[in-house]
Each structure stands twice: as structure tokens, then as C-alpha cells.
Structure 1
């Protein structure tokens, strides 16, 4: 479903943002019940703030990610950790020399 760890984190943050908007919309719809509307508004606000913070952290992670050239598509991509996927084509990438040598043997 996701191509690369960075895209997975970004997608989760986007879903949290949308959930926050839906909760706040639910608060507007349920304005006849003030306690429920207030709770939904606060929960939605917290989801939106949390999503913003996670986008900030993803940006910080992205700045320290290792840039590599994908052997399949030839594009530059970013890797988090020792194993990741290309952000463009989804090719599995590794920085571990043991796995690179095993791939050459096959």
C-alpha cells in the first residue's frame, strides 16, 4: 500500500488530519448537544495539532534520511534505516552489504 517509510508516515498524518476535520464537522452537526459538540471539537482540534506535529517530525526525519539512487528506476530516493522502499517505484532497497551480496549471487 505504501512505498517507503516516509510515505507511510505522511499518509498516517494525513489520515489523522482528516479524522480531526471529520470530528470537528461532527461537532458542528451535533450542536444541539453542547457537551458532545464540545468534546468532538476538542478531540478534532487535538487530532489536527497532533497531525501538524507529526508532519514536523517527518520533515526532520526526511532531512536526515540517506539519499540513494534506485537501481530500478534510476531516480534519487530517501531511505530511513537499513531497509526501505523506493519512493517512486517501490523497489526494496538496503544499505546492508550482506543482502546486496546475496542479491548478486542469485
Structure 2
């Protein structure tokens, strides 16, 4: 259920950006230390470039997490008709975070066979 719902998809992307940033920074340090060949060894420009790119990935992820926190607090909470759990809907259509049931806030998408009492 890692990729169900818009919020979880974006959180997974932000987590991936953290890992990519750390890996890029590690590659920059490994190049500087000489683990990637003698041409890269002690080349501060290459190391600086990789460290800056990796740092920007991690900072971009941090900004994305902060933005997702704001979006999450303003998202509409609904009960999923399939699993009965409370989930958040971002926008007009989204998936349940637990069972991937498609949910909609648009009345035009409501099922027509529902009995009114």
C-alpha cells in the first residue's frame, strides 16, 4: 500500500530524493578520496559539485515534506466505503490510503443506485 493516495505517492518521492541526495554526496566524496580512479582523486571541484547537487536534493525533499504537511492538514477526511477507515482526499478525486478504492468529492460521480431514506 506504499503507492496508494496522492499524499503517499508524494511522500515516497520525497523519501527517494533524500536517498538520491545522500548517494550523490557519497559519490562526490568517494571521487575525491580516490575510490573512483586517479583522475578524480583530490579534485575539489568535482567533489564540490556532487556535494552541492546532493545537498540541493536533500533540501528539496525537506521543502516537499513541509509542503505535504500543510496539504495534509487541509485535506478532506472521509470514510472509505470499502474498508471503513478514515482517509484523506486531496483534490476532487483520490484513492483510499488503505485499500486503493477510488474516492470522489464530486456529486456527479456518486453511484446512481443508492437508496435515499
Unaligned residue ranges in structure 1 (runs of 5+): none
The TM-score with structure 2 as length reference comes to 0.84
Residue 57 of structure 2: aligned partner = 47
C-alpha separation between the residues in 1 aligned to 2:58 and 2:3? 22
TM-score, normalization by structure 1:
0.93
Divergent runs of 4+, >3 A: none
Count of residue pairs brought into register by the alignment: 104
Residue deviations 1:4-59, cap 9 Å, x none? 10011101111111110011110111111221111000000011011001000000
Using the alignment, how far apart are the partners of 1:11 and 1:36 within structure 2?
A: 29
Specify the alignment match of 1:21 in structure 2.
22
Tell me which residue corresponds to 1:90.
100
Q: CA RMSD in A?
A: 1.3
Unmatched runs of 5 consecutive residues or more in structure 2? 33-40
Q: Deviation digits for residues 49-87 of structure 1, max 9, x if unmatched?
A: 110010000000000000000000000000001100000
| Structure showing the higher helix proportion among its residues | 1
Distance in 2 of aligned mates of 1:17 and 1:48: 5
**Separation in 2, partners of 1:67, 1:18:** 31
